[in-house]
Amino acid sequence: MDASRRKLVVEVDMGRCIGVGYCVDCAPAMFQMNSNRVAEVVDPEGADEETIMEAAQSCPVDAIFVETEDGKLLWPK
């Protein structure tokens, strides 16, 4: 992992995800669709911060939550 990358905590709210897959298109090493057609984080270090934020912002239902390690919510705003 790039040492300059701060650690982010990324979670998908599976109850909210509608399975359109934009996050997977944006960051396929990090997000994958599971067998229920819901996105999940498969590799928490699979994308850099910019890509993570892009993926979260691409989600039409704000199902992707991004926090810093010390609990500051970065997305959704």
Does 27 bind ligand SF4 (CB under 6 A)? Our answer is no
Q: Which of residues 5-24 bind ligand SF4 (CB under 6 A)?
A: 12, 17-23
Does 59 bind ligand SF4 (CB under 6 A)? Our answer is yes
DSSP secondary structure string, 14-35? TTT-----HHHHH-TTTEEE-T
What whole-number distance in Å separates Cα of residue 48 and Cα of residue 6?
Answer: 9
**Minimum separation from the CB atom of position 58 to ligand SF4 (A):** 6
Candidates 1-9, 46-54, 60-68, 69-77; binding stretch for ligand SF4 (CB under 6 A): 60-68
What whole-number distance in Å separates Cα of residue 60 and Cα of residue 16?
Answer: 10
